[in-house]
Amino acid sequence: MMGPDQLGQLVDRHSAALTLYARQWCGAAEDVVQEAFLKLVAQQPAPRSVIPWLYRVVRNAAISSGRSERRRCRHETTAAVESPQWFECTDGTGLDGETAAIALQRLTKEERETITLHLWGGLTFEEIAQVAECSASTAHRWYAAGLEALRERLHVHVRTTY
């Protein structure tokens, strides 16, 4: 079994190079390397050639992680294209996403959270009340106040869904 001192030395000597190696396949290279070291600790008996074993484990995990990232990105892109627009402009000019995001950030945290939970999370006001530890009527008030503030700041008609 590998001792903590030996593991610490391996991490100090090789984690940076293993991370760089994993980055060619995935964005979560640090996580992949950490998992490889955890697998190493669990190996009974320890591999004869630890360094090549670590590189093989990191390579396999990084390739798998990269595939998952690409698959998730495809699914999220498809879902984003198919999801309905939340903001409807009555004058036909369209709504800039960055402007909307800035307007959302300027709301109180309660208003922003309530709007996000209701519109994007699909939660009812009763469910929002459970999350925010308030009454359903308070959650509804925050929602209505937030939408009104958005209407004023964006100078557009915001479709309200109660």
**H helices present in 23-132, as ranges:** 29-42, 50-82, 97-105, 109-115, 125-132
- Burial 81-99, CB ≥16 within 10 A → b, else e: eeeeeebeeeeeeebeeee
Cβ 61 vs Cβ 32: under 8 Å: yes
Percent of the chain with pLDDT over 90: 54
Nearest CA to 1 out of 43, 51, 35, 37 is that of 43
Say which CATH topology domain 97-154 has.
Arc Repressor Mutant, subunit A (1.10.10)
Burial of 116 (0-12, 13-18, 19+ CB in 10 A): middle
Tokens at residue 24, please?
């060619």
CATH architecture of 4-82: Orthogonal Bundle (1.10)
What integer pLDDT is reported at residue 18 of this predicted model? Answer: 95
> What Å distances lie between residue 158 and 37, 81, 125, CA to CA?
51, 20, 19
Average pLDDT of the chain to the nearest whole number: 86
| 4-82 and 97-154 in the same fold | no
86, pLDDT greater than 80: no
**Domains in the chain: boundaries:** 4-82, 97-154
- The reported pLDDT for the residue numbered 150 is 87
Greater model confidence, 84 or 135? 135
The predicted-structure confidence for 56-69, as pLDDT tens digits, reads as follows 999 999 999 999 99
Question: Is the N-terminal amide bond of 45 cis, ω within 30° of 0?
Answer: yes
CA geometry: angle at 62 spanning 58 and 65, to 5°? 140
